[in-house]
Structure 1
Amino acid sequence: MEAAFEKVVDILFGVAIRQISYMWNYIENIDTLKRALQDLKGTRERVQGQIDIAIRGGNNLFEGVEKWMKDADQQISKAEEFVEEEANAKKTSECYHCALEDESKQIIGIYGLGGVGKTTLALEVAARVRHRLFAEVAFTTISQKVDFEKIKKDIGEATKRIMKGDKILIILLDDVWEKLNPEDLCIPCGNKHKNCKILLTSRSIKVVEECGGLPLLIQAFGNALKDENIKSWEWALTQLQKHAPSDVDDEIQKSFTHLQLSYDYLKSEKAKSCFLLCSMFPEDWYISLEDLAYYAVGLERFDDLDSIEDARGRVQNAVDMLTSSCLLLKNQYLGEGYTKMHDVVRDVALLIASQGNNKFLSNLNKVHIPHLEIFLVQKNQNLSKISDEFIGWMKKVKVLDISWNNISSLPQSFQLLTKLRMLDLRGNKSLHEISILGVLRDLEILILNETGITKIPREIAQLVNLRVLQVKDCVDLSLITEGVIAALSRLEELCIDLSFLKRASPCIVENKDSILIN
């Protein structure tokens, strides 16, 4: 029993910590792990049978048996997860096998964002094809500062064998930052040395192309297809062979079909909607999941929504799905409440949105945007006024975020926004009067933080569908009109910072249970 358990533990952890040389025995180790996993499962079942017999007979278990069962379950779970991931990775790597086997291609490049697994995939592909087609694989890291002597040392033996005409060899050049001439690295290639294949990884498609390679984007491609059957992979191949729209930047054209494919294969419409919403934020913006939840509620993206907290959970699930598909990036600075979108991914997302029926994204070069559902204009201190004409252009808008501007008043045309469900006015410190908002009967989320309002007027009581009201850090606030809060029967979240209420002025604060007079 212990031998089987120790065997699978050793193999499992060994897979995780072996260095690069392990990759060349990768397939053999995976097969060994699978056999050991089955042995451990069988042993566990037999032990469970003995436990059941002992319990029925009223006998005590030997010391350590329960702990062994718990440890065995944990290791079985880890091993099964690893085997499943390996199976998915196998599907991904098959695409690259074809490129290596193509006699017309001598240099193959894998490009993608930093940290998405280019090196791991390159090593895995090399390991899988080595026994079938190639004599040896030589590995070297190029990096931003090229050390020619080190590189020549790493691949020296392989280049000698290529010159001798040995069986085909792979030279893996990892982390290439700029154009490299193989001859500068003493790598024999060209028509005279067909027995040399160069597999390189880079963050830039331009580098791959300048090196004469066939570029293969892995940023989200493998994750999009990891659970699909062979027919889906064949269909995906035809999609990858299609061209992107010609009226966009070259860099975006190269990434378009790959990212479009990843988007199309998202199994959740909520995740697709979240992806497009994230593209609306500026480049390199840390995107708040709280904002995404509010936008999604305003856009009515969720069916059978129980609460605002439920919306937060659904957004978190969508962001997790997009992150695992490499369409969003994990935020390393602001914590779990934020995410980020790579600039290339954002450009492609905007292009995808512009071609579909996405009413919350529009070409703002057009003056008339009657079907617009969401509009964001943030952090513009030069924006002090919104014209009636502009509001008239977007009567169907559901989400309006005009936070952190310098708006001093709201136009009378606001009463035309009868579809509005989410309004963010935070940070407009010159904004004092909000009575006009009372006509927005469908409004569900209203954010007034850090505005210049002096009171919450009686008109706000007409917002009977309001679910979230935030009035934080309003330093001029002196009055919350009696009866307003009690009238908001659907209110789920009320955030009012009472510390800023002016002590010099009479103030009425109420809730549904009591009225406080200051």
Structure 2
Amino acid sequence: MEIARDIMEKVRNFETLDYKMGILKRRMDDLSSREEDVRTELDYADSLSMRKRRKTVENWLTYVGDMKNQVQQLEQEVRERRFYNYLQLQNTVDKATEEVKELAQLGAFPEGVTLIARESGGLTMPTTELVGKKFKEKKIMIQESIRNDKMFCIGIYGMGGVGKTTLVTHVYNELLNHSEFSVFWVVASQNFSILKLQSDIAKAMNADLKDEEDVSKRAAILADTIKRIKNPVIILDDLWDEFSPESAGIVRGGGCKLVFTTRSLKVYYRMESDIRISVETLSDEEAWALFVKKLGTSGTRLTPQIKEIAESLVKECDVLPLGIITVAGSMRGVDDICEWSNALETLREATWGKDEDMQFDKVFRVLRYSYDKLKNQTLQECFLYCSLYPEDHEIERDELIAYFIDEGLISRMGSRQAEFNRGHTILNVLENVCLLQGRIENCGVTRYVKMHDLIRDMALQIANESSRFLVKAGVKSDDVVDSEKWSESLERVSFFRSILFSHDISPPVCPRLSTLLLRCCDNINIIPNSFFTHIKGLTVLDLSGTLIRNLPSSVSNLKSLSALLLRSCRELMKICPLSDLRALKRLDLSGSGITELPEGIDRLTNLRDLSLALTVNLRTIPEGIFPRFSHLQRLKLHTFDGKAKVRGEEIASLRKLELFQGKFYNINDLNIYLSSWEKSCPKEYRLLVGDDLYFQKITFEMEKSVHITASQDLKSLCRLDSLKKASDLRLCTVDNCPRMTHLFCLACYNRPLVQCLEYLNLLVEIVQVPDEDQDQDREANSSIIFSTLPKLKILNLEGLPQLRSFCSSRKLVCDSLKNIHIEGCPNLERLPLFREDSFPPTSLERISVSEEWWESIKFDSPNTRDVLIPFLATFRT
């Protein structure tokens, strides 16, 4: 009997070992997928010459390679196992599983897999007068840097047409009049090479390279030449490629200075400048002054009507000096209001670049060069895609990237997050070359991009060269677009926020059309059933925000459709069968009026992204439907009333899920789902259970972010026992909590390791000091008592009219602060966040405050304000 028991025990051990080995293999497969995504992202960044690899990423890849070999060897040993060593093998498998799990966690790389490499006697040249206080300040800054013996390389950055060349031209001309400097002007060649640069510098200096072709020897000749010149200043205009000055022969020392201008943020940093100077656009007042000055008064009368049009022309130039100068010059001497109106319409319709009378081709060439310089077709297509949005529209980065993915501009990768990482990489490149502007929102994160009007006009001009785009986004005129405009060559059409779309036209014949954006067209309440009959290649169809009640039946035939977006179509009750849309990967029905799921949705087995959020009329979701979507990466099911619930085992079956928001029937379903996290866990989730959820009963132990919204009773985070163990907390958002008077008291101020504080309405102070402590502090005559938030990196305070102090009686110190944003806090009089013995803090990068508030606040030391100015970014309220 005992022999039988021993045999059974060993059999069970064998089965346990196989089970554990299976878990290890699955985790290793997930780790290998992550490795592939990381390598793909690194290769892509390398192809764009943007960034360099983080050392931690390189080490991680090495460790993953070693682990793969170890698991393969272990798998072989398990296959050849014997009874006597199964226990040892089990321990080895357990240890390997933990190591793989740890590597997977380390492979998240929240700060990205790459990092920006730290880049960093002639004749007077004709130029225009500098306009604006900031331009004059920048000129003085450049001149002082040239005179500073400790500085060698001076980098000047700004978008095309902003005035960089004008700025350095003034510096060049003034240096010509100073005998202590020898200044040389060199224009960087579009086809940059060290060899060409050396020739241009040699020509400017009248140096003889002796027909030498070896780059190193030429550099030695130039270096020797430069050493013989008294305080040489080399101005290199419009640089598009970074290089080592030494490799060209420009050697630090001997008073030598290198000043360069660039539109590329990559070059700006990689050149390792000793000082970096950013050139911003003009203020509205300065822009108008420049326009009037360049327009002149000879023969030009600005009647009230003409002045109104002229002001609109200046706005169209988006306060770009080059655009303003060019447009003003073209209108000099024009008195006829019809000509002024035509000029405004011409600029708005983006026909410049072809109209010789308007002379807009100069602006076009400057801006077009930035586009042509991209070279990478994917970058160019992504840039042009941004022009589908209305003028001056702030575009959400994630929304735009989702379009890129839908269109196939970003190839499918192992995870949705990897695809979005690539999208952010693309947008960063476009921002860095000033083709897009980024807007930093809460927590120092750039969440939006925007196109300058002139740049958008340029993009549309490029797209229309081959009649690829039809863009009427944001247009509110009464002239509808007729059938003739829907040409067969069209690839992308946008009526975003327009009233020009007409459903009375005959079905358009556009076989190449891939994107159709009809979102937010509030005049669309019906689309004929046959409308999509002849555009079968459509990839992206966005009808979000329209008033349609039925989805046209011809949509069922769009077999290439990748994204069907019906977000906030509140009148939409019926959707045609979707069973034939097998290529569909994103379906957004959030906020729509549907009462039941579309027929055939269970056949959409390629879905990656499904949103049924805020579908208030959707009462039930058929059981058994979600396991069919094995590729699903994002699933949003949460509603206001929470009527639509799901079973835990269905969601647990979705192994690729990265985001989940939904409601379970009961705690048992929640536990079933949570138990599946051992194999795979979504990176973002929002879980509700049953009809009631008690916040106090939730324990946040490993959470990195907590959002508390609309709590009517919460007065302090100290009241939440659920945060006592939140040792990993990094982000805390408190929104619409009207009774809150402080975040936490002094006794527990360091409990949540806060990194970002935002939207704290009716906040009196961040740290509350107990009364008895305040009395002791007042009586103390010794040094100041400090309270510290050692982990705080980003402080964002907005709309807090009652905020008076950070910490009553004591001084709150945040040594790790990187970004500070304060807006709408009129009663806050001080910024006591730094120790004076380590001032300014080495981590500080940016202080964003209003000009009025900055001038009104008080400092303990008179030098503090001056020390903080380099970090200051002010705005007007």
Q: CA deviation at 1:134?
A: 8.6
Aligned partner of 1:219 in structure 2 is none
Q: SS of the counterpart of 1:494?
A: strand
The residue type equivalent to 1:122 in the other structure is T
Contact 2:352 2:361 (8 Å CA) reproduced: yes
Please provide the CA RMSD for this pair.
Answer: 4.0
The question of 1:125 aligning with 2:169 is answered yes
Could you say if the C-alpha distance between residues 443 and 28 of structure 1 is closer, same or farther in structure 2, counting changes exceeding 3 Å? same
The residue type equivalent to 1:372 in the other structure is L
In 1, the alpha carbon distance for the partners of 2:463 and 2:469 equals 9
Q: SS of the counterpart of 2:414?
A: coil
In 2, the alpha carbon distance for the partners of 1:249 and 1:294 equals 41
The question of 1:292 aligning with 2:400 is answered yes
Higher helix proportion, which one? 1
In 1, the alpha carbon distance for the partners of 2:598 and 2:546 equals 22
The question of 1:433 aligning with 2:433 is answered no
Q: SS of the counterpart of 2:578?
A: helix
Aligned partner of 1:178 in structure 2 is 292
Unaligned segments of structure 2, at least 5 residues: 1-119, 121-135, 180-281, 299-319, 334-350, 473-483, 488-507, 654-663, 667-689, 691-877
Aligned partner of 1:471 in structure 2 is 612
Contact 1:144 1:177 (8 Å CA) reproduced: no
Could you say if the C-alpha distance between residues 307 and 181 of structure 1 is closer, same or farther in structure 2, counting changes exceeding 3 Å? closer
Query: Rg larger in 1 or in 2?
Result: 2
Could you say if the C-alpha distance between residues 181 and 321 of structure 1 is closer, same or farther in structure 2, counting changes exceeding 3 Å? closer
The question of 1:380 aligning with 2:517 is answered no
Contact 1:406 1:429 (8 Å CA) reproduced: yes
Aligned ranges 1:122-271 → 2 under 5 Å = 122-132=166-176, 176-179=290-293, 201=321, 204=324, 205-209=326-330, 246=354, 250=358, 253-271=361-379
Q: SS of the counterpart of 1:177?
A: helix
Contact 1:391 1:413 (8 Å CA) reproduced: yes
Contact 1:252 1:344 (8 Å CA) reproduced: no
Aligned partner of 1:407 in structure 2 is 548
Aligned equivalent of 2:454, options 344, 349, 353 = 344
Aligned partner of 2:418 in structure 1 is 310
In 1, the alpha carbon distance for the partners of 2:562 and 2:283 equals 50
Aligned equivalent of 1:85, options 142, 155, 164 = 155
Q: CA deviation at 1:388?
A: 2.9
Aligned partner of 1:33 in structure 2 is 151
Q: Cα deviation per residue 1:212-255 (whole Å; 9 max; x = unaligned)?
A: 9xxxxxxxxxxxxxxxxxxxxxxxxxxxxxx9653699475443
Q: SS of the counterpart of 1:279?
A: helix
Contact 1:431 1:453 (8 Å CA) reproduced: yes
Q: Cα deviation per residue 1:132-175 (whole Å; 9 max; x = unaligned)?
A: 3799xxxxxx98769xxxxxxxxxxxxxxxxxxxxxxxxxx996
Could you say if the C-alpha distance between residues 182 and 111 of structure 1 is closer, same or farther in structure 2, counting changes exceeding 3 Å? farther
Q: CA deviation at 1:298?
A: 1.4
The residue type equivalent to 2:290 in the other structure is V
Q: SS of the counterpart of 1:472?
A: coil
Greater relative contact order (Cα < 8 A, sep 6+): 1
In 1, the alpha carbon distance for the partners of 2:297 and 2:353 equals 36
Aligned partner of 1:485 in structure 2 is 626
Number of equivalences: 349
In 2, the alpha carbon distance for the partners of 1:311 and 1:270 equals 14
TM-score normalised to structure 2 length? 0.36
Q: SS of the counterpart of 1:125?
A: helix
Q: CA deviation at 1:177?
A: 3.2
Contact 2:551 2:576 (8 Å CA) reproduced: no
In 1, the alpha carbon distance for the partners of 2:368 and 2:452 equals 15
Aligned partner of 1:272 in structure 2 is 380
Unaligned segments of structure 1, at least 5 residues: 1-11, 35-82, 93-109, 136-141, 147-172, 185-199, 213-242
Could you say if the C-alpha distance between residues 21 and 383 of structure 1 is closer, same or farther in structure 2, counting changes exceeding 3 Å? closer
The residue type equivalent to 2:628 in the other structure is A
Q: CA deviation at 1:182?
A: 7.9
In 2, the alpha carbon distance for the partners of 1:251 and 1:471 equals 51
Aligned partner of 1:54 in structure 2 is none
Q: CA deviation at 1:356?
A: 4.7
Could you say if the C-alpha distance between residues 345 and 465 of structure 1 is closer, same or farther in structure 2, counting changes exceeding 3 Å? same
Q: CA deviation at 1:404?
A: 0.1
The question of 1:424 aligning with 2:565 is answered yes
Q: SS of the counterpart of 2:568?
A: coil
Aligned-residue sequence identity (percent) comes to 28
Could you say if the C-alpha distance between residues 19 and 285 of structure 1 is closer, same or farther in structure 2, counting changes exceeding 3 Å? closer
In 1, the alpha carbon distance for the partners of 2:417 and 2:359 equals 39
Q: Cα deviation per residue 1:478-507 (whole Å; 9 max; x = unaligned)?
A: 11112211100100110111443448xxx6
Q: CA deviation at 1:355?
A: 2.1
Q: SS of the counterpart of 1:128?
A: helix
Aligned partner of 1:354 in structure 2 is 464
In 2, the alpha carbon distance for the partners of 1:442 and 1:460 equals 12
Q: Cα deviation per residue 1:335-369 (whole Å; 9 max; x = unaligned)?
A: 62211112221121111112258589899443421
Q: SS of the counterpart of 1:339?
A: strand
